[in-house]
Structure formats: C-alpha cells, structure tokens
Amino acid sequence: MINAAGMKLLEEFRGATFSDVRLERRLDIIVSGLSRDPSQSFPDAAGSDGALEATYRFLANDGVSASAILAPHVAATVERAVGQTVLVSHDTTEFRFRDREGMGRLSRDENDGFLCHVSLALEPGELRMPLGLLALKTWARTAPARRKETKSKKTNDIPASERESRRWWEQVEVAEEQVANRGCSLIHLMDSEADAYPLFCQLVAARRRFVIRLHVDRRVLDDEAKGLDEKLAMAPTRIRRAVPLSARGNIRGATGKGRHAPRVARIAELEISASTVTLRAPAGTESAFPKTVTLTVIRVFEPNPPPGAEPVEWKLATTEPIRTKADVEAIVDAYRARWVVEEYFKALKTGCAFETRQLESYDAITKALAIFTPIAYEMLRLRTMARQEDPRPARKAFRPSLWLVLRNHPQLRLRDDSTVHDAFLAIAQLGGHIKNNGAPGWRVLGRGYEKVLAIEIGVLIARQNYDQS
C-alpha cells in the first residue's frame, strides 16, 4: 500500500512516461518505498528480494531516462511559480562514486564521480520557500588528463562553447524556457564561480535578470579608477545595516581562509554602496563578445569586524534598478537566498544518502538522482518550514488528516492556535530532536515525519473502513 508521504511525492512524478506502462507503475512503487525514509538503502526501501531486483532492472532499463523521470517535477515547479517573481539559485556540486562505470575526475585527483548543476526556484521573501527545480544537468569529466597535467593550459585557449563554465548560461536559458509565457519573472542567483565576462554579456544581451557575486578585480572604463575595486571604494555609502551571520564550519575542499574561513555566529554591521560601472573585456576575450558591458555593482562591506574575524565583503553584479534604498536592499536580500541551494545539496547527500547508493554505472546513478531530486525538494520544504518562525496557524498549513494526528498526539501538546513552526518542531521531537540542540537536522526530522505519517495512514484506513461499513 502507498503511504501518505508516497501519495504526496507521487504527484511530483505523475506524468512520467516510458516505453512500457509497467515502468511507470514500478516508479510509483520505488518512490513509495523511499518516501518512508529517504536515507534508507534500496534493499530496505524495496522490502523484498523481488522488489529490489525490479528496482535495479528499472534503473538499468534503456527505456527509462533521467529526463523523463524528472519532467513531472519540473512541470510541478513551474505551476508553483506561475505569475510570480521567482529567485533561481544556481550552483554545482560533486557526487563521489569510486570505481563505477562512466565516472570521471573531480576537483581532487584521488576522487572519482560526476558533477551536478541545479537551478532551484525559490519564493522571494524572508521564508525563501523552495518551489522545486527548473533545471538539472549532470556530467562526468571523461578526459584522461588530470588537473596537474593541464595546469599550464590557459582558460582563454579554450573556446567559450567548450568550457564547463558554459553551464551557467545554458541552465539560465533552460530555466527561462520552462516558464516562458507563464507570467513568471526569474532572477538568477550565482556565486563567484559564475564571475565571467562572457556570461555577463550573454545575460545583458538577453535581458535576463540576475545577481552574481564577483570575485576578481576587473578593468573599468573610467578615468578616475584603475580597476573595479578602486571604483567601488570611491562610491558613497547608501545604507548601513546590521545582519546576523550564521556559524560556518570548514568547507570540504576549501582552504579555510578568506571568504571560506570558518566563523562563529555574530551580528555584522555592514555598509552598502552601489555604482553603475562599465567593464572592459579581459585580454583574450573572443571577438564574439562586445568590448564593454555595463552593470550595476553593489558592494556590501564590514568596515569594523571583530578582532581575528574575516570581514564580510560581497560585490554583487546585477542589472536590477538602484533608484531607491529599497531597490538596493532587495538586491542584497535576493543574493542572501542563494545559500538555500547548498541546503538542497545537503538534503540529497545527507537526507537521501545519495552518495551511498550501490549502483554500478553513471547511467543508473543519474536515473536514481532524478528520483531523489523531488524527494530532496520535499525534505528541504519541510525543513525550511521547521527552521523559520512561520507564524501561520498549523491547522491551515497542513492537510486535515495530518493536522488531526498532530493536534491529538499525546506527546506533542499542540493547541488549536499552534503555528507551523511549533508543529514542525513537534515532528522533529518525535524523531529524537532535543529543543536545546538548535535547529533539527535532516535525519531527526525525517524520522519524526515518518512516525506521524504512519499514524495518519492508520487514521485514513480507519475512516475508509468506517465509511464502507
């Protein structure tokens, strides 16, 4: 029997079409099994040797593609985005799988796996509620040469159309195509890996909305400034603002210095300025791109950090208007939503334990990724609601049968006026979360949700039997 979580998740897969209708039924069964606990292994989720073998056959079937599995979720994301201005957080992550067919090198020589670039749609505002994925791209680096063997090769020697960096532009266009003619305006958010002159030219020419963090100093068309950093330092402060900074541990693969340095939670007193600048094309830029491009650059700077702390500094490139202080603040707040995509990757890697999947080939693993993509979205949506002080009444935010279980569970002590935030902390409590330990983690939230759903299933079965009697 398909459980309540499975029923909800199946809506994110409804409409996937394959060469055989039996494959569509098998996808329903796989999703239903994983919905009970996304971190469990395929053998545990399947429940029997026969069902496990059917799962592996599904993932190995040439009539099944990752794009077909994912298509209904993308369509559902579009429906949730219709008629809105939507933030789209773009980012790339690495999935590590050693000794599997079709894998390639990653950022460090000893690792093999593949890369995944996602475009995650978010509602603007303080909650930054995820809406789902508008685009996903995976690839494995098949070139035999390791990074140290190609270190001397200049990036400009490689045409823009052949660089990995082209994914930023390609995925912007894929996302835009998904929402075309649906009354939806996208603002694309990218970190400093996307700081590339050709990308700026493409975005401006296509009139795409964006906020991209800059990393390198650039030449500017200005007689008074030698470069972008000097130009920004000359701009007057327009806004002073106190912003809470969350704690940050060591980032895997980072040096632990500069903008990647670990930090403790604190309040940062920031100054914000804005300038319209015209950038010159870097030496070696292909002739297909213009010699200059004009952007607005927002500088967010912490002039007096605490002793020993790395100062906050963001340089944000955009074409959004900066006529008022509210315009400037909206750009900064939009970029602050970019980090949600990193939480999405945690949902995949920790909540869904994706890198532990025992599949033998790149093809099968990327099909499995397409299955876990909507599951990770549901987990992220759940945790977003749990971590925010959402003041909405829980009774209006949850489906009636689930609220009935939560309201009457003897351990939870929820009231008619309990908020969404109260309810999700209560769910995490059932999973073993201790209130004084901070925000609930992926695993305890999943365990608590599983328990509540199991009770809800019993309620639904009892109602169905009562109605038929």
Q: Is the pLDDT of residue 254 over 80?
A: no
Task: State the Cα–Cα distance between residues 5 and 22, nearest whole angstrom.
Answer: 22
**Range name among 117-121, 167-171, 458-462 with the lowest pLDDT average:** 458-462
How far is residue 95 CA from its own chain's centroid? 15
Q: How confident is the model at residue 7 (pLDDT cuts 50, 70, 90)?
A: very low
Taking 60 as the threshold, does the pLDDT of residue 150 lie above it?
Answer: no
Contacts of residue 421, defined as CB under 8 A and 6 or more positions apart, other chains included, come to: 385, 386, 388, 389, 390, 391
Which residues are 185's β-sheet partners?
Answer: 85
Give which of 52, 56, 78 is closest to 133, Cα–Cα. 78
| Most confident of the following: 237-241, 397-401, 410-414 | 237-241
Using 50, 70 and 90 to split pLDDT, how confident is the model at 188?
Answer: very high
pLDDT, tens digit (0-9, with 9 covering 90-100), for 158-184: 666 678 889 999 999 999 999 999 999
Distance CA 300, CA 270 (A): 7
Residue 193 phi/psi, 5° resolution? -65, -25
**What is the model's pLDDT at position 6?**
44
Give the whole-angstrom CA distance, residue 142 versus residue 105. Answer: 8
**Identity of the residue numbered 270:** L
**Residue 108 pLDDT level (bands cut at 50, 70, 90):** low
Give the per-residue pLDDT at 82.
95
Global pTM value: 0.83
Distance from C-alpha of 262 to C-alpha of 311, rounded to nearest angstrom: 12
Where is average pLDDT lowest: 155-169, 293-307, 344-358, 405-419? Answer: 155-169
More confident residue, 328 or 29: 328
pLDDT for 9 equals 55
If pLDDT is split at 50, 70 and 90, which confidence band does 156 have?
low
Mean pLDDT of 338-352: 91
Name the strand (E) or helix (H) holding 85. strand 85-96
Note the pLDDT tens digit of each residue in 358-392: 898 999 999 999 999 988 898 888 778 766 666 77
Question: Which pLDDT score, from 0 to 100, does residue 352 have?
Answer: 85
Residue 164's CB: how many other CB atoms inside 10 A? 13
The mean pLDDT of 333-353, rounded to a whole number, is 92
- CA 238 centroid distance within chain: 31
> Which pLDDT belongs to residue 252?
54
How far apart CA 131 and CA 84 sit, in angstroms, is 11
Kindly report the average pLDDT of the chain as a whole number: 84
Closest CA relative to residue 20, chosen from 70, 74, 58 = 58
What is the share, in percent, of the chain residues with pLDDT greater than 70?
Answer: 86
State the pLDDT confidence band at 154, using cuts at 50, 70 and 90: low
Q: Residue 328 CB: number of other CB atoms within 10 A?
A: 24
Confidence grade of residue 454 (pLDDT, cut at 50, 70, 90): confident
CATH for 1-64 is 1.10.246
pLDDT of residue 250: 62
Which of 123-132, 197-206, 419-428 has the highest mean predicted lDDT (pLDDT)?
A: 197-206
Do 386 and 421 touch, CB atoms closer than 8 A?
Answer: yes
Lowest mean pLDDT segment, chosen from 86-100, 270-284, 403-417: 403-417
Residue 293 scores a pLDDT above 90: yes
d(CA 297, CA 185): 21
Q: What is the structure's pLDDT at 1?
A: 35
pLDDT, average across residues 275-298? 93
239: buried, middle or exposed (CB in 10 Å: 19+, 13-18, 0-12)? middle
Residues 67-348, CATH architecture: Alpha-Beta Complex (3.90)
What is the rounded distance in angstroms from the CA atom of residue 278 to the CA atom of residue 254? 32
d(CA 324, CA 57): 58
| Residue 45 pLDDT > 60 | yes
Is residue 264 over pLDDT 90?
Answer: no
Residues 86/119, Cβ–Cβ less than 8 Å: no
Reported as a single tens digit per residue, the pLDDT across 124-146 is 888 899 999 999 999 998 755 44
Residue ranges per structural domain of the chain: 1-64, 67-348, 389-468
